[in-house]
Amino acid sequence: MIPIKLYSFAKGIKNARKSKGLTQEELSDQLNVSLKTIQNWEQSIAVPEFQTILRLCDFFECDMAYLFNVLDCKTYDMQFIHEQTGLSENTIKKLISRKNHFTNYNKALDILIRSTNFENVLNHIIRYMDSVKVHNILAKQRRDRNEKILAENSWAEDGLTVCNYTGNDALDKKLKTAEAEMLTQEYHLDTNFRYTIQELRRAVREQKE
């Protein structure tokens, strides 16, 4: 039994509505209830009756616990897979959808995951994402710095803007290092993807034999 808490339902119904891409007005129209009712739900003023909650579960295709913000995913099954794999609900749905629509999808995915170089690919993806994050932070710092310096150290001369600031070597060097790390990880990704493709070819040949 799920304990009924106004604030839990308010957060859950709001998340459910947003995940479906609906405004409060659109949800009220589709459920044939007043806008004020939706607002009361999301502001912790009221909780719908049990039959209405069941109707909401059908509408959002979710378990009741999701509406009360007990689950991050819409169903207990999805929540279990999410907790075991770390995959998002959208990714899990995509995998299930591909499995149901493409022949040998599971077999291909199994070969890919078991590939020796697949783990290397994942590691380099993580490192690449980290390097991009660092690069973006440093790039923003440089933009902010340049805007401030331009405002403080520039003047108009013959219709042109003149600035006498030569730069910040330390920040520029960090940014170049981050750019170099990005390129390095891109190279490793490309290399390991090629190795993974070679492994896939070998696996397919072995299956035929």
Beta strand 154-157 pairing with 160-163: antiparallel
pTM of the model: 0.59
- What is the sign of the dihedral through the CA atoms of 195, 201, 205 and 207? positive
pLDDT at 161: 55
Examine the pLDDT at 116 and tell me if it is beyond 90.
Answer: no
Examine the pLDDT at 77 and tell me if it is beyond 70.
Answer: yes
Cα–Cα distances in angstroms (integers) from residue 57 to residues 7, 64, 96, 103, 143, in the given order: 18, 6, 21, 32, 48
The tens digit of pLDDT for each residue in 150-182 reads: 777 655 555 555 555 555 678 888 999 999 999
Cα–Cα distances in angstroms (integers) from residue 196 to residues 27, 30, 192, in the given order: 46, 48, 6
Q: Nearest 5°: CA angle at 178, between 176 and 180?
A: 70
Read off the pLDDT of each residue in 32-45 and give the average, rounded to a whole number.
Answer: 95
